[in-house]
Structure 1
Amino acid sequence: MHAQRRPTRRLRARRYLALLPILLITVVAMVATVARADPRVPPRAPSLAALPAPPVPAPPVPAIGRAWPVGARPEVVCGWEPPAGPYARGHRGVDLAAPPGTAVRAVAAGRVSFAGRVAGRGVVSVELSATGRPPLRTTYEPVRASVRKGDEVAPGQVVGTVEPTGSHCARTCVHWGLLRGGVYLDPLSLLPPWLWRSGPSRLLPVLGVPLP
């Protein structure tokens, strides 16, 4: 019987070279596993394309009001007190003193988005024109509506009258609210400075005609 020949050096080198790719793949896989498990290894920074876009700030409230909701210069019984959170306590609007039967007017041009009853109280809501997306929306309650959903209203146009019941004030008042989407805002910010000036009553300006 012939003695078994030992592999030559060249043959052994070829075998080692054939095993080299397998060893490299194994080492790379082990390093990747350790990097994922080791909290000391910092995570890879996200690319600029993966970063979320910064939030777009909501447009400011324009002073487009041309009339108080009631009267010429009504008494503000309770002012706007923004809540700290969606369900926190606060006053989400402004209460204006007004006796029952007082005419309630739209403060600015818009379209009636709701006119009906909510929890036994009459509510009128007007979506204001050209106030961004989502648009500003004013609400008035308790009001017996004289308009319907979809009606276009002009500044100072009567949308209803104050109801004798349903007010949360000690005396009859109108709760005037302002929202953009689901966020409550200060409705008084709709009024320009000339509406705040004290003095005798004056005629409301005609839309498109400059103030004197």
Structure 2
Amino acid sequence: MYSTAFALALSVLTALTATWPVGPPRPAVVRGWEPPASAYGPGHRGVDLAAPPGTEVRAAAAGRVSFAGPVAGRGVLSITHPSTGTPPLRTTYEPVRPLVRPGTEVTAGQLVAVVSGPPSHCAPVCLHWGLRRGDTYLNPLTLLPRPPSRLLPLTPP
């Protein structure tokens, strides 16, 4: 299930110009993506980025705001990214104070929210960044550009 979704996410990367949602400098990943073994199993369906309250949050890629409001006592922002397949990719950010309304078109790197204070699922407060295609969770770090590969010799020179 995840390998097909992962392949689909990679196939649309050329359609996205993605950027870190917080920084510069590049934020530390406090907790990485831990895909669950089953749809309802334990795991971590996103990544947590070091970001104290008040940190500016920027759209990782261009899209349309699909949700901006509270969920379970925390502010959440979701952005749907067109031209990324069917169903389209959607990024989520929490806990945040959204600065944009549903229906707003945003560009990659545009200021869309600020990290809000507690309650948060990590201490100190961090930004949880998620990525989904339909009901399938994906690793949002796959959206980011990677440095070019470099071939190394098999034995030291």
The residue matched to 1:116 in structure 2 has which SS? strand
Question: Structure 2: 5+ residue runs without aligned partners?
Answer: 148-157
Question: Structure 1: 5+ residue runs without aligned partners?
Answer: 1-56, 195-212
Larger relative contact order, structure 1 or 2 (CA cutoff 8 Å, min sep 6): 2
Q: Percent same amino acid at aligned positions?
A: 64
Taking structure 2 as the reference length, the TM-score comes to 0.84
Q: Identify the residue that residue 126 of structure 2 maps to in structure 1.
A: 173
Aligned residue pairs: how many?
138
How far apart, CA to CA, are the structure 2 residues paired with 1:128 and 1:110?
4
Query: Does 2:108 align with 1:155?
Result: yes
Summarize the alignment of residues 108-119 of structure 1 with structure 2, pairs less than 5 Å apart.
108-119=61-72
1:169 to partner: Cα distance? 0.9
Q: Identify the residue that residue 9 of structure 2 maps to in structure 1.
A: 60
Q: Identify the residue that residue 97 of structure 2 maps to in structure 1.
A: 144
Larger helix proportion of the pair: 1
Counterpart code for 2:117: P
1:147 to partner: Cα distance? 0.3
Query: Does 2:22 align with 1:70?
Result: yes
Deviations 1:10-32, CA, capped at 9 Å, x for gaps: xxxxxxxxxxxxxxxxxxxxxxx
Taking structure 1 as the reference length, the TM-score comes to 0.63
Q: Identify the residue that residue 210 of structure 1 maps to in structure 2.
A: none
Q: Identify the residue that residue 150 of structure 2 maps to in structure 1.
A: none
Summarize the alignment of residues 1-212 of structure 1 with structure 2, pairs less than 5 Å apart.
58=5, 59-61=8-10, 62-63=12-13, 64-72=16-24, 73-194=26-147
Deviations 1:110-142, CA, capped at 9 Å, x for gaps: 000000000110000000121011000000000
Moved over 6 A (4+): none
1:87 to partner: Cα distance? 1.2
How far apart, CA to CA, are the structure 2 residues paired with 1:162 and 1:101?
5
How far apart, CA to CA, are the structure 1 residues paired with 2:120 and 2:61?
23
How far apart, CA to CA, are the structure 1 residues paired with 2:79 and 2:139?
16
Flag the structure with larger Rg. Answer: 1
Tell me the C-alpha RMSD between the 2 structures. 1.2
How far apart, CA to CA, are the structure 1 residues paired with 2:27 and 2:71?
25
